[in-house]
Chain A
Amino acid sequence: MSSIISFREATKVFPAPRGRGREVRAVDGVSLDVREGEIFGVIGYSGAGKSTLVRLVNALETVTSGDVVVDGVSLASLGEARLRPVRAGIGMVFQQFNLLSSRTVAGNVAYPLEVAGWTRAQRDARVAELLEFVGIADKAGAYPSTLSGGQKQRVGIARALATNPRILLADEATSALDPETTQDVLALLQRVNRELGITVVVITHEMDVVRSICHRVAVMEHGRVVEVGEAYQVFSAPAHDVTRRFVATALRDRPSPAVLERLRTRHTGRIVTVGVDEVAGSSALITRVLREHGVDGTVVYGGITEVAERPYGSLTLELVGDAGAVEEAVVALRAVTLVDDHGRADR
């Protein structure tokens, strides 16, 4: 797969405000490739530099050093006037929607088409088609102030798709929405990717967003990319502390020390936490291993969710049976998945 966006040692430094304080290295030497046709996630806490990174792609900001190559065009070498057509070829949706309050829904969606010089008739036809695609054809004549958050973001997405861009940038596109609407909008972004073949770059601080739709993900901290790879890989085996914290927010499947204390007062057997994922321990596999060793496993804590549409999580089990058999069962489990052995309560 070829890369459609390529960051090359991209760095963005904002000067210290009014000469006071320190300059901010918002993006610090990032090298990264986004592949054509994928949904690429960038996750990080507030201030990590995600927005600045994505704004480098459509040149709302320009690099201080390094380069960003979009569709084979090196942006660092282009002047403002030459950047405008590049921007027009990239769609962007925003957390706060940023719709023109003086225009109707149809007028908002037509805006980029006016910029691109489409005729009236072409615009009308395209607007109708887009509103149909995002599912708000009935709102064409409404003003944005009369719409719900989810409807506004649909308008935002329709507007971003208007000129048939090959790339869609979504900066916290669901962060202002409630959980249910978030799922609807994420599903829409997924359709944009699947049905229209558009490469989508999703910026978020919510693990749920990455978990639901991203194929690959980069984790950012202090302007740097600390981890990058397939979403499933990155989150099932997080190498960096920030990544681990994000994983923990998505799924509170592992018992905290306090929970473990309480489990021990209730369960006298050996307590182990086993990782459940697609490759290693499917829960069926775990059950089979235990049965083969004549050990009873009771689920006492845990959770399984989906990352990139594949199962992921952990189960905490109380193992009851002959001491030797339990020991062997734990060894056998270690062969198929990650095992955290919490031992037995000493009494």
Chain B
Amino acid sequence: MTWDRLAPLLGEAFGQTAYMVLITLAVGGFLGLAIGLGLYLTRPGNLLANRLVFAVLNLAVNVVRPVPFIIFLVALGPLTRAVIGRTIGIEAFTFAMCFMASFVFARLVEQNLVTIDPGVVEAARAMGASPFRIVRTVLVPEALAPLILGYTFLFVGVLDMSAIGGYLGAGGLGDLAIVHGYRQYDWAVTAVVVVIIVLIVQLVQWLGNSLARRALRR
């Protein structure tokens, strides 16, 4: 395939991947942070200890997270139809990605929060801070560097998930590489896509590392 023919295909696929990945990062990042904080706060002995809420969240995370994404896509079908209206297409696929990413990130967030010295939380409580203020001014700032690294890790995972977008007709870079390389034996296209993905991951990883380092300047 010539570059003239490849360029528009690449452009379209890149746009689709960007759409899926950016929406998933935004939604998954937000919900993951919320669920992760929920897990941390409601854990027995913590600020908003609540056995029931903790058990429900914990179970949800444990059930969703280990399911291979390609199976999860199918399993989530009925819910996807209820929310999005159809089970194929880029919206349906992105919905499933958001769902999975939220739970993956939730566990990452929780794991980073438990490393915070409980004494610091206690000190904030002793100064009369409310739980919401403690989340804002203690938990998130104190765990910021690992949270940034976790978010970077999430980005790589989300990009990975997006590669099977073709399965639901969502397109994207992964689809392009699979269709041309695997089915049409045009390995050059696959190679170009691989290089692009590696470059994106490198760039994001570098960005994440330097932001985390800056957050750790203490």
Mark A residues whose CB is within 8 Å of B: 58, 60, 84-90, 92, 94, 96, 98-103, 111-112, 114-116, 143-145, 159, 163
Decide if B22 is an interface residue (CB 8 Å cutoff): no
The proximity string for B residues 105-134 relative to A, scoring 1 for CB distances below 8 Å and 0 otherwise, is: 000000000000101101111111110010
Decide if B142 is an interface residue (CB 8 Å cutoff): yes
Q: List 27 A-B contacts (CB under 8 A).
A: A58-B126, A85-B128, A86-B128, A87-B127, A88-B127, A88-B128, A92-B126, A92-B127, A94-B119, A94-B122, A94-B123, A98-B117, A98-B119, A99-B120, A99-B123, A100-B120, A100-B141, A102-B141, A102-B142, A102-B215, A103-B141, A111-B127, A112-B128, A115-B124, A115-B128, A115-B133, A116-B128
CA distance A340 to B141 in the complex (A): 62
B interface, over-half SS: helix
Q: Is the CB of A87 within 8 A of B142?
A: no
Q: Is the CB of B218 within 8 A of A102?
A: yes
Nearest CB on A from B135, distance (A): 14
Decide if B168 is an interface residue (CB 8 Å cutoff): no
Could you list 15 further interchain pairs (A-B, Cβ under 8 angstroms) beyond the known A98-B120, A100-B141, A143-B218?
Answer: A84-B128, A84-B129, A87-B128, A92-B126, A96-B117, A98-B119, A98-B122, A100-B142, A101-B218, A111-B137, A114-B137, A115-B124, A115-B127, A143-B217, A163-B127
CA distance A92 to B122 in the complex (A): 10
Nearest CB on B from A240, distance (A): 31
Closest to B44 in A: A18
Chain B interface residue bracket vs A: 20 to 34
Residues in B neighbouring A103, C-beta threshold 8 A:
141
Q: Is the CB of A60 within 8 A of B141?
A: no
CA distance A143 to B119 in the complex (A): 17
- Which B residues between 192 and 218 are near A, CB-CB below 8 angstroms? 215, 217-218
Decide if B138 is an interface residue (CB 8 Å cutoff): yes
Residues in A neighbouring B123, C-beta threshold 8 A:
92, 94, 98-99, 159
CA distance A90 to B127 in the complex (A): 8
Closest to B133 in A: A115
Decide if B144 is an interface residue (CB 8 Å cutoff): yes
Q: Is the CB of B138 within 8 A of A100?
A: yes
Mark B residues whose CB is within 8 Å of A: 117, 119-120, 122-130, 133, 137-138, 141-142, 144, 215, 217-218
Q: Which 7 A-B pairs have the closest CB atoms?
A: A88-B128, A143-B218, A98-B123, A98-B119, A112-B127, A102-B141, A87-B128
- Given A112, A144, A163, which contacts B218 in the complex, CB threshold below 8 Å? A144
Closest to B142 in A: A102
Question: With contacts A102-B218, A143-B218, A144-B218 known, is A87 near B125, CB below 8 A?
Answer: yes
Among A60, A100, A103, A145, chain B packs the most CB atoms within 10 A around the CB of A100
Closest to B134 in A: A115
CA distance A85 to B130 in the complex (A): 10
CA distance A87 to B138 in the complex (A): 17
- Given A89, A90, A96, A111, which contacts B124 in the complex, CB threshold below 8 Å? A111
CA distance A316 to B215 in the complex (A): 62
Closest to B215 in A: A102
Residues in A neighbouring B217, C-beta threshold 8 A:
143
Nearest CB on A from B185, distance (A): 54
CA distance A235 to B179 in the complex (A): 86
CA distance A88 to B141 in the complex (A): 22
Residues in B neighbouring A115, C-beta threshold 8 A:
124, 127-129, 133
Q: Is the CB of A101 within 8 A of B128?
A: no
Residues in B neighbouring A92, C-beta threshold 8 A:
123, 126-127
Closest to A102 in B: B141
Closest to A95 in B: B119
Residues in B neighbouring A85, C-beta threshold 8 A:
128
CA distance A230 to B123 in the complex (A): 30
CA distance A105 to B130 in the complex (A): 22
Among A94, A101, A102, chain B packs the most CB atoms within 10 A around the CB of A102
CA distance A92 to B217 in the complex (A): 27
Closest to A146 in B: B218
CA distance A143 to B138 in the complex (A): 15
Residues in B neighbouring A116, C-beta threshold 8 A:
128
Residues in B neighbouring A143, C-beta threshold 8 A:
217-218
Question: With contacts A98-B123, A99-B120, A111-B137 known, is A145 near B218, CB below 8 A?
Answer: yes
CA distance A94 to B125 in the complex (A): 13
